[in-house]
Structure 1
Amino acid sequence: MESDSPLNHPVVHFLLCVSYLFVFLATIIGNLIILLVFFSQKKVRSVPNFFLANLTVADLFVGIFCVLQNAVNFVFQGHGRWPFGKVLCYSYIYVLHFIPNVSAGILVLVSVERLIAVLRPLRVRRAFSQKVLITSSAVVWLASAVMNTPYVIASQFLEISDGNETYTICTRRHVEIYGFNLLKLVATINFIVWYAVPLVILLCIYATIGLVVSKAATITKQSANKLLPRSSWRSEASTGGVSVEKRRKVGRLAVGIVVAFAFFSLPRYVYFMWTVWRDPMAPRCLNCLQSVLQPISFLLLFFNAAVDPFLYAFLSTRFRQSIKETFHVGKVRESNIELSSRLRRKVVNSELETGYEYHTHS
């Protein structure tokens, strides 16, 4: 019975509700703040940040169109129940697959730009002109939109009556087209194109960046030791070190985002591939651990969209400063310091004047 499902255990139900609420608020608020920074601060409108802005929009769509709907589907209304109607059922399943694929494609674009920035820093602006930025981003969005259209065909909205009540569910169905199982085909292609291949590309790119940066650091140190007098080692090493450090920081933010993508997306892909390739006629156990694993895999996927703004804030000094300037945090602090210094000067001046008058009268 459904009442025996682990999802209905009070502790599990409470933890899932709190987790969904946290992910929803973090995704919406965090990504809105990042978008506000992009639009209000010109200094963050660089080539890689253009791609990161696209990633932020995709993450925001996850929060708006997926998180609460998924929570209602699995936790709030009972496992699998869908109260939002047929149209939202089809659009929800479509967006649920469409947006994560966009994030993967954008991450590849960010990483390719980072690789060129490290290998050929003078050519990166020519390679990524405004036209190239817009075109490449549009290709990712369009490719993901087209490749996920089969999910609309495979979506299924059912009305079920168990004698006591009537409820609706939103799920996927196996559709045969020209002898091919559409759901298995599109799920496998998407896993390869939008997860496995991007992950291999990203690993190769950042392995290359790591080797180049470490080699540059070694060459800089050796050159300083051979060509400069001992007294200038510190100054020149620090000068060369700035360049190497800048190149090291170039990919730090992107690496953090890629690691989050690889870690938080994998459970959902594994679980979804298992559900697609299992025997569709086999009974589903709603009272087993499987019923808890499904919403957890979704939560981890959504958490990837929630964690990106925190990565921007903690791994990028420029983003941290821009966030402070956007909300006038730094200006308020500076104004408070200036106000306190003015008050201090007034007190000192008044004391000097009082002392001068005392000496004059005496």
Structure 2
Amino acid sequence: MLDDSDVATDEIDTPAGMRTITNFFLVNLAVSDCMMSTMNITFNFVYFLNSHWPFGEAYCKIVQFVSVLSVSASVFTLVAISIDRYSAIMHPLQPRMSRRWTLFATIAIWLVSAGLAAPLYEASQTFTFIYEDNSIRTLCYFKWPDGETMDSTLELVDDV
């Protein structure tokens, strides 16, 4: 069974005939999925398991940013694949996307995804509770400039 890293490695080592537009987008999808699994899932699992964030404020910001970045990049890459497939099926005699357009689309996917993730980077922070029994619990959460999470207009806009 293949995982995402196998798909990415196979794409790099394939003959020129396999370097299609769809395959470039599949590699982009594999990169975003690998980013999610290596930089986010394990750390959030530990956080949810222990209800404590032991990784520091810097990584709190990075994890929140990478989470939205990789999910957005995956979704936008699937949209690009769908557009490519739609064009190939509905207009079979017209030329396909060029490599230049594919490179532009891939860069745009990552830039738009980074733009969507940037507010979460800014709003993420840690807060440490010290309980009466001297136990310590640190949270990684969003603190929006215009108020608490449930009352924040900025969070509502970011969620939409």
TM-score normalised to structure 1 length: 0.41
Matched, 1:175 2:145: yes
Partner of 2:8: 35
Could you tell me which of 61, 68, 74 is aligned with 1:97?
68
For 1:156, what is the secondary structure of its paired residue?
A: strand
Q: Is the 8 A contact 1:173 1:183 kept in 2?
A: no
Q: What amino acid sits opposite 1:113 in the alignment?
A: D
Matched, 1:63 2:37: yes
The size of the alignment, in residue pairs, is 155
Q: CA deviation at 1:116?
A: 0.8
Unpaired runs of 5+ residues, structure 1, are 1-25, 189-362
Q: Is the 8 A contact 1:105 1:140 kept in 2?
A: yes
Could you tell me which of 69, 77, 94 is aligned with 1:123?
94
**CA 1:148–1:53 in structure 2 vs 1: closer, same or farther (change >3 Å)?**
same
For 1:62, what is the secondary structure of its paired residue?
A: helix
Please give the root-mean-square deviation of Cα atoms over the aligned residues, in Å: 2.0
Partner of 1:141: 110
Q: Is the 8 A contact 1:175 1:181 kept in 2?
A: no
Q: What percent identity do the matched residue pairs reach?
A: 25
Could you tell me which of 131, 135, 151 is aligned with 1:162?
131
Spell out structure 1 runs of 4+ moving beyond 6 A.
none
Q: Is the 8 A contact 1:151 1:183 kept in 2?
A: no
Distance in 1 (alpha carbons) for counterparts of 2:71 and 2:110: 11
Q: Give the alignment of 1:1-362 within 5 angstroms.
A: 30-42=3-15, 43-75=17-49, 78-79=50-51, 81-125=52-96, 128-164=97-133, 165-176=135-146, 181-188=153-160
Distance in 2 (alpha carbons) for counterparts of 1:160 and 1:124: 60
Distance in 2 (alpha carbons) for counterparts of 1:98 and 1:124: 31
Q: CA deviation at 1:74?
A: 0.6
TM-score normalised to structure 2 length: 0.89
Distance in 2 (alpha carbons) for counterparts of 1:157 and 1:124: 51
Larger radius of gyration: 1
Q: What amino acid sits opposite 1:187 in the alignment?
A: D
Distance in 2 (alpha carbons) for counterparts of 1:36 and 1:99: 19
Unpaired runs of 5+ residues, structure 2, are none
Q: Is the 8 A contact 1:155 1:173 kept in 2?
A: yes
